[in-house]
């Protein structure tokens, strides 16, 4: 199992993410609820034998992200980035890359739907920059954390109430103090927005995308902290490119190249959904897929009610052959408004 069960349990706790993002301003849990401090290793198989390895050390605290190439032991990874309060190089991935990685992992392992835990974890190494499609990045971030919320706590009388008191309004659901509220998610999102720090990406000959900074847009006087720069040849530029190429090939073959995707009705329905910009026709698409013999759990789960808009959007985009984010930006417009940068801005 690539994700330890302990991490899946902790992922629904607001305090876990305040530690993950080093959000010192987030109030700790109440008495008797100590902050979780596990040391965990997360191994994420992507494609072509390439894997991403995350080390989470909350005691140090220090977190690192490595690329493990095919044929290498998991302890022989190459550093993509790391994060610690006093020394960090967390700017390692671009949002289109994280979206692609999340999609292919979801196809490999339906227990890790996209956007969800993978995006939430790797967003620590994926700042929002001037080069990003910001509405898409924000929607992915928000949907990922909302997907991690635990099921609502049940409430009700211990015995059958009198008829007058039987209505649900007399038995409100208890509030979970550890819940990932929209305000908590917005706080984390604001901390990852590096645009006012001038953070950017540009293509460099022979390397591909490299981290950059535009001084004239650096209102917050931040410093870019990344190994993925043209002067640091220790960064595995070629390996990351191969991982992304293998991910795109696998995703294309798993979805657009699948026999059920070539059925006459499937792609036209998906394209109409993208063109309309809403998910009303998802049940029709699901019926067409099932009739065509689709049995892929990630695809069917994403389109089965109750539908999570962000999850359904990327599956429809893949079936339609649409540019990633085309539908997502239209069906997920309700991401939280970021908090004022004066309240919190941490991207380094």
Q: Are residues 188 and 283 located together in one domain of the fold?
A: no
**At how many degrees (to 10) do helices 237-254 and 95-108 cross?**
50
**Any domain includes 342:** no
Please give the structure tokens belonging to residue 342: 């004066």
Tell whether 341 is covered by a domain: no
Q: Name the average pLDDT for the chain.
A: 86
Query: Which one, of 62, 52, 123, lies nearest residue 94 by Cα?
Result: 123
Residue 269 shares a structural domain with residue 226: no
In a domain, 343, yes or no: no
Residue 286 lies in a domain: yes
The tokens for 24 are 């010192």
C-alpha separations of 193 from 60, 129, 132, 247 in Å: 25, 7, 10, 26
Residue 336 lies in a domain: no
Q: Please count the structural domains in the chain.
A: 2
Listed residues 226, 252, 278: the one ending a domain: 252
pLDDT of residue 125: 96
Instruction: Let me know whether 305 and 187 are in one domain.
Output: no
Q: Select from 54, 79, 52, 60 the least CA-distant residue to 19.
A: 60
* Position 171 in a domain: no
Cα distances from 249 to residues 4, 48, 69, 183, 322, in angstroms, run 28, 9, 17, 38, 15
- Asked if residue 321 and residue 284 are part of one domain, the reply reads yes
Give pTM, 2 decimals: 0.87
Same domain for 141 and 273, yes or no, is no
Residue 266 domain boundaries = 256-331
Tell me how far apart the terminal alpha carbons of the chain are, to the nearest angstrom: 31
DSSP state of 92: -
* Shared domain check, 292 and 188: no
Q: Indicate if 17 and 133 belong to the same structural domain.
A: yes
Clarify whether residues 215 and 297 are in a common domain. no
Q: Which of 93, 107, 117, 101 is nearest to 3 (CA)?
A: 117
Residue 32 lies in a domain: yes
Whole-number pLDDT of residue 83: 92
What are the structure tokens assigned to 268, written together? 């036209």
Domain end call among 195, 225, 252 = 252
pLDDT of the residue at 273: 97
State the pLDDT at residue 343.
42
320 shares a domain with 185: no
Task: Give, in order, the Cα–Cα distances in Å from 340 to each of 173, 318, 346.
Answer: 31, 35, 12
Judgement on whether residues 297 and 236 belong to the same structural domain of the protein = no
- Is 174 part of a structural domain of the chain? no
192 shares a domain with 150? yes
- Specify the pLDDT at position 132: 95
Quick one: 221 and 309 in the same domain?
A: no
For residue 56, what is the enclosing H or E element?
A: strand 50-57
Report pLDDT for 142.
Answer: 95
- Taking only the tens of pLDDT, the chain with its 348 residues reads 578 888 888 888 888 888 888 876 555 555 445 544 568 899 999 999 999 999 998 888 889 999 999 988 888 899 999 999 888 999 999 999 999 999 999 999 999 999 999 999 999 999 999 999 999 999 999 999 999 987 655 555 566 666 655 666 655 555 556 678 888 899 899 989 999 999 999 999 989 999 999 999 999 888 888 999 987 678 999 999 999 999 999 999 999 889 999 888 999 999 999 999 999 999 999 999 999 999 999 999 999 999 999 999 999 999 999 999 999 999 987 555 444 443 444 555
What are the helix (H) ranges across the chain? 5-10, 14-20, 95-108, 117-122, 134-146, 182-191, 237-254, 266-276, 282-291, 297-303, 309-320, 328-331
Contact, 340 vs 169, CB < 8 A? no
Out of 252, 275, 292, a domain closes at 252
């Amino acid at each position: 199992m690539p994700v330890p069960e302990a991490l899946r349990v902790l992922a629904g706790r607001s305090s876990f993410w305040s530690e993950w993002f080093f959000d010192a301003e987030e109030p700790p849990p109440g008495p008797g609820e100590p902050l979780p401090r596990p040391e965990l290793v997360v191994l994420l198989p992507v494609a072509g034998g390439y894997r991403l390895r995350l080390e989470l050390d909350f005691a140090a605290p220090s977190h690192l992200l490595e690329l493990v190439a095919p044929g290498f032991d998991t302890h022989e990874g190459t550093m993509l980035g790391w994060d610690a309060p006093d020394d960090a190089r967390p700017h390692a991935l671009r949002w289109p890359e994280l979206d692609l990685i999340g999609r292919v992992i979801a196809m490999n392992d339906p227990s890790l739907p996209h956007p969800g835990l993978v995006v939430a974890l790797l967003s620590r190494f994926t700042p929002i920059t001037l080069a990003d499609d910001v509405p898409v990045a924000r929607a992915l971030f928000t949907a990922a954390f909302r997907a991690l919320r635990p099921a609502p706590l049940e409430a009700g009388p211990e015995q059958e109430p009198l008829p007058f008191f039987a209505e649900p309004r007399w038995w409100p659901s208890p509030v979970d103090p550890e819940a990932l509220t929209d305000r908590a998610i917005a706080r984390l999102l604001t901390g990852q927005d590096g645009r006012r720090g001038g953070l950017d990406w540009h293509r460099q000959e022979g390397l591909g995308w490299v981290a950059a900074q535009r001084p004239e847009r650096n209102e917050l006087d931040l410093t870019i902290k990344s190994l993925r720069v043209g002067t640091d040849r220790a960064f595995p530029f070629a390996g990351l490119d191969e991982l992304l190429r293998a991910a795109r090939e696998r995703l294309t073959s798993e979805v657009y190249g699948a026999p059920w995707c070539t059925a006459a009705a499937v792609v036209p329905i998906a394209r109409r959904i993208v063109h309309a910009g809403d998910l009303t026709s998802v049940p029709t698409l699901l019926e067409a897929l099932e009739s065509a013999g689709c049995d892929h759990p990630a695809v069917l789960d994403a389109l089965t009610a109750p539908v999570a808009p962000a999850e359904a959007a990327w599956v429809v985009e893949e079936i339609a052959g649409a540019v990633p984010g085309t539908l997502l930006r239209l069906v997920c417009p309700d991401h939280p408004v970021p908090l004022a940068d004066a309240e919190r801005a941490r991207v380094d």
